């Protein structure tokens, strides 16, 4: 019998995580009739390691549920795993591109702001710097549209 604390210790995850995974059904311990404690099988340790490995690759808990369900139905989930990871790679690439654009915009804006005084004479009376950035961004957006880079 493996307790929550023992499973936690052997897997390197917190007892809270083990309890959470049990509560949501990723782990299915039985209850010890003597004391009501959750008890796990040795295979639960491997399952927990699988869950953590999948998370480290970017799989969500819902996706892990799906993968485990496919496997438990006697089917290999490998094609679904490939599809999810391929989709995640595409999503990450898009996010990286967005972050690169944001970084460039921030750097360009900060360079513009270095020459502007600190005052509150903006359109809304809060900060002129942000108003000046809004104007620069509108100009940049029009340029991107004309160049076909803006979607």
**Greater confidence, 148 or 57?**
57
Please give the class, per CATH, of domain 2-75.
mainly alpha
pLDDT value at residue 57: 95
Q: What would the pLDDT profile of 100-109 be if each residue is shown by its tens digit?
A: 999 998 898 8
Q: Is the pLDDT of residue 119 over 80?
A: no
Beta carbons of 55 and 64 less than 8 angstroms apart: yes
The residue with greater pLDDT, 132 or 108, is 108
Residue 77 gets which letter from DSSP?
A: -
What's the whole-number mean pLDDT along residues 13-36? 92
39 bridge partner residues: 3, 30
Helix (H) or strand (E) holding 31: strand 30-31
d(CA 12, CA 19): 14
- pLDDT at position 44: 94
Contact assessment for residue 27 and residue 44, using Cβ atoms and an 8 Å cutoff: yes
At residue 117 the predicted structure's pLDDT band, cuts being 50, 70 and 90, is confident
* Phi and psi torsions of 38, nearest 5°: -75, 135
**Mean of per-residue pLDDT scores for the chain:** 86
For residue 132, what is the enclosing H or E element? helix 128-147
Q: Is the CB of residue 57 less than 8 Å from the CB of residue 85?
A: yes
- Residue 128 to residue 145: CA distance in whole angstroms: 26
Q: 132 or 35: whose pLDDT is higher? A: 35
What pLDDT, in 10s, does the model give residues 39-82? Answer: 999 999 999 999 999 999 999 999 999 999 999 999 999 999 99
CA distances from 120 to 3, 69, 106, 115, 147 (A): 61, 58, 20, 15, 35
The predicted model scores a pTM of 0.71
Q: How confident is the model at residue 120 (pLDDT cuts 50, 70, 90)?
A: low
The β-bridge relationship of strands 30-31 and 2-3 is unpaired
CA 52 to chain centroid:
14
């Amino acid at each position: 019998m493996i307790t929550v604390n023992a499973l936690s210790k052997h897997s390197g995850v917190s007892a809270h995580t083990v309890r959470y995974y049990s509560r949501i059904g990723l782990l299915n311990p039985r209850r010890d009739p003597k004391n009501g404690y959750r008890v796990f099988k040795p295979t639960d340790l491997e399952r927990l390691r699988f869950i953590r490995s999948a998370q480290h690759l970017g799989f969500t808990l819902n996706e892990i549920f799906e993968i485990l369900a496919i496997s438990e139905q006697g089917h290999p989930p490998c094609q679904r795993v490939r599809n999810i990871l391929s989709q995640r790679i595409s999503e990450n690439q898009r996010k990286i591109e967005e972050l690169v654009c944001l970084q460039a915009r921030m750097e360009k804006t900060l360079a513009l702001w270095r020459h502007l005084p600190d005052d509150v004479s903006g359109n809304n009376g809060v900060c002129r710097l942000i108003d000046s950035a809004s104007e620069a961004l509108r100009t940049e957006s029009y340029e991107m549209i004309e160049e076909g880079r803006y979607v």
